[in-house]
Amino acid sequence: MTQDQNPPAESTAPVLCDACAGIQRNWRRAPGHAELMQGVNRKEPRRHGAVTVTRYVCERCAAVWDYEN
């Protein structure tokens, strides 16, 4: 494929709503917001043991968030 057929990387990045843009990333117990809808969860192995990863999708801007605990 030529470069013209592939969109630039920045055009594929989601545009976050104000509530999603305000979420503190990579922070323990960071609050989400009311329009995040919980999806599926899964177990993933880590050095210290298995963790649960829960997927959330924003109803306003469709951003996808994974929350690990």
Confirm if 44 and 1 have CB atoms less than 8 A apart: no
What average pLDDT does the structure give for the chain?
84
The 10s digit of each residue's pLDDT in 49-59 is: 999 999 999 99
Query: What's the domain range around 65?
Result: 36-69
Assigned domain for 68 exists: yes
| 41 lies in some domain | yes
Domain count, the chain: 1
In a domain, 30, yes or no: no
- Dihedral over Cα of 41, 44, 46, 50: its sign: positive
Say what percent of the chain tops pLDDT 90. 61
In a domain, 25, yes or no: no
Q: Distances in Å between the alpha carbon of 31 and those of 5, 17, 66?
A: 39, 15, 13
For residues 66 and 46, give the distance between their C-alpha atoms in angstroms, rounded to a whole number. 15
In a domain, 59, yes or no: yes
